[in-house]
Structure 1
Amino acid sequence: MSQVEVSEGTVEAPGCTSPLFYRQSRASSGEAEMSVLLLHGRRFSSENWLKIGTLHALADAGCRAVAVDLPGLGRSSSAEAPAAVGELVPAAFLTDVCERLRLGPVVLISPSLSGMYSLPLLLQQPHMLRAYIPIAPICTDKISAQQYRSIKVPTLIVYGDGDTELGEVSLSNLSQLPNHSVAVMKGAGHACYLDDPDAWHRLLVDFLAKL
């Protein structure tokens, strides 16, 4: 196992009054084979990905992983959100963040609240995504069936079988993506990755190995 380096930084984002905070990990030896951008839910931040070991697991798998604190949350709390919760954020927001961080094409991990950020990028800038990993995101009902069917990005839909509300709704909508697979985490709730980090890391690394 390689030694993993975790660093911190900030990045400017369009429309934000202050920069966004991020954590970054990569193995200390060798070039990263792919880049991964981790978003988070409403009550969470990049710190959760650090605490449960996802940043380390991705670095061990040969990835450069960047976990961003979304506007108004975590250590980006002073940055004003570009849209109200539940409204789709223009794709230019994440496009600009990815370009400034030199990420791309990127694997995008998007739980819960972060769907309002990730779905517009998936729809409008699919060439920027190497893969998409939604975890019961919001706003999936704001994309039409025709739009979903036009997106060819490899997608791993993840949800906990205890998430009978948003998990099932998002699964129903996201299953219209033509190039998708589904991973159900048994005995897990809405934030399924927190309930069983080891299982989450196994399915994540297995999926990335097939890209």
Structure 2
Amino acid sequence: MSELIWSLQMPQPLVVAPSLSSLFVLPHLSMYPEKILAAIIISPIIPSSMKAEDYVKIKVPTLVISGDKDQKNNLKPAKALEKIPGSELRIFPHASSPAHQSQPKLFHKELYNFLKKFK
């Protein structure tokens, strides 16, 4: 991921990681927090290599979104990411995985509110 960011000459992009892509983004946030402006993690899947102490290394503003009807992941991964300092967790009602597809209007509202911080 670092090579991609470097090759695209992106100084601190905002990363959106739905579902499986969180397997790549979360370790990157832990190892290289200075390279990402912010992250939006949707219906996360947490890599088995990550431990609770890795979450506190993430110094990137992070919005975590999950659905309350997410049968595949349940809410454990999303709630675990609340350990990221300054993270925001949003549980969408009546939403399955991925939550942004189940509740697109609510997703866009939360996305807009989160992005307003990064003018």
TM-score relative to the length of structure 2 = 0.88
More strand per residue = 1
Equivalent residue number for residue 121 of structure 1: 28
Deviates more, 1:162-171 or 1:123-132: 162-171
Residue in structure 2 matched with residue 104 of structure 1 by the alignment: 11
Match of 2:92 in 1: 185
Between Structure 1 and Structure 2, whose CA radius of gyration is higher?
A: 1
**TM-aligned CA deviation for residue 104 of structure 1:** 2.6
Structure 2 gap ranges (5+): none
Identity of aligned residues (%): 29
Partner of 1:148: 55
Report runs of 4+ in structure 1 exceeding 4 Å deviation.
none
Equivalent residue pairs, number? 118
1:53-202 mapped onto 2 (5 Å cutoff): 94-202=1-109
- Offset of residue 165 of structure 1: 4.6
**Bigger RCO (CA 8 Å, 6+ sep):** 2
User: How many Å separate the matches in 2 of 1:184 and 1:104?
Assistant: 30
> Is residue 160–residue 186 contact of structure 1 (8 Å, CA) maintained in 2?
yes
Separation in structure 2 between the aligned mates of residue 126 and residue 182 of structure 1, nearest angstrom:
19
Whole-angstrom distance in 1 between the partners of 2:58 and 2:29: 8
Structure 1: state its 5+ residue gaps. 1-93
Secondary structure at the aligned position of 2:83 is classed as: coil
- TM-score, with normalisation over the residues of structure 1? 0.52
C-alpha distance in structure 1 between counterparts of 2:98 and 2:29, whole Å: 22
Alpha-carbon distance change, 190 to 100 in structure 1, aligned in 2, over 3 angstroms = same
Answer whether contact 1:140 1:170 (CA < 8 A) is retained: no
One-letter amino acid of the counterpart of residue 133, structure 1:
I
